[in-house]
Structure 1
Amino acid sequence: MIVVNVENAEMMENPHGVDVRKLVAMEKAQIFHITLKPGEALKRHATPVDAFIYVIKGKGIVEVGDERAEVKKGSLVYLPKDVPHTVSNSGSLEMAFLVIKVV
């Protein structure tokens, strides 16, 4: 059994300058917990693997390629590999989400 507590997971250095914590790193999947303060955003980037974002707190804007959507707690977004995307906190409270990368 693997049990990981977000508060105990070590923060990772990242090019976005935001709170990123790696929760799981396995052969076929990686899971990260990301927190964005109001006004913070991930820089537009692409990943070499398919990924999903699952919002667990707050609200924001997700852009994938030329598409843009407002998301909130409970939203799941698919991020196809090699397609540029970004996530920004558009609310007045903290936003938290999981990024699940399928390797």
Structure 2
Amino acid sequence: MIVVKVGEAERIDNPHGVDVKKLIGMENVQILHVTLKPGEGLKKHATPVDAFLYVIKGKGMVEVGDEKEEVRKATLVYLPKKVPHSVENTGSLEMKFLVIKVG
């Protein structure tokens, strides 16, 4: 059994300068917990693998390719590999979400 507590997870450096903790890092899956303060975001970037974003708390704007959508708690977004995407906290409270990278 693998049990990971977010508060005890390894914080990782990232080019976005935001709070990212690695919950799982295996050969074919990586799960990250991201916290964005109001106004913070993940700059437009692409990943070499498919990924999913699952919103735990807060609200924000997600852009995937040429599409934009406001997301809130309990929303899942598919992020196809090699397609540029970004996330911005547009709310007045923290936004927390998981990024699950597969492949």
Instruction: Settle same-fold status: TM greater than 0.5.
Output: yes
Query: What residue in structure 1 maps to residue 36 of structure 2?
Result: 36
Q: List, as ranges, runs of 4+ consecutive aligned residues in structure 1 with deviation greater than 4 Å.
A: none
SS in 1 for 2:52: strand
2:83 corresponds to 1:83: yes
Counterparts of 2:14 and 2:51, CA distance in 1: 17
Q: Map Cα deviations across residues 46-100 of structure 1 (whole Å, 9 max, x no partner).
A: 0000000000000000000000000000000000000000000000000000000
Q: Which runs of 5 or more structure 2 residues have no equivalent in the other structure?
A: none
CA shift, 1:28, in A, is 1.3
Q: CA RMSD in A?
A: 0.4
| Matched-pair identity in % | 73
Q: Which amino acid aligns with 1:22?
A: K
Match of 1:50 in 2: 50
Mapped partners of 2:38, 2:15: distance in 1 = 18
Secondary structure class of the residue paired with 1:52: strand
Higher strand fraction: Structure 1 or Structure 2?
A: 2
SS at match of 1:7: helix
What is the alpha-carbon distance in structure 2 between the residues aligned to residue 102 and residue 10 of structure 1?
19
Instruction: Report the CA distance between 1:16 and its aligned residue.
Output: 0.1
Residue type matched to 1:3 in 2? V
2: CA distance, partners of 1:28 / 1:18:
24
**Aligned partners of 2:36 and 2:45: how far apart in 1?**
16
Per the TM alignment, residue 26 of structure 1 is displaced from its structure 2 partner at its CA by: 1.1
For structure 1, list consecutive stretches of 5 or more residues without a partner in the other structure.
none
| Aligned-partner residue type, residue 29 of structure 2 | A
> Secondary structure of 1:56's match?
strand
Q: How many residues align?
A: 103
2:8 corresponds in structure 1 to 8
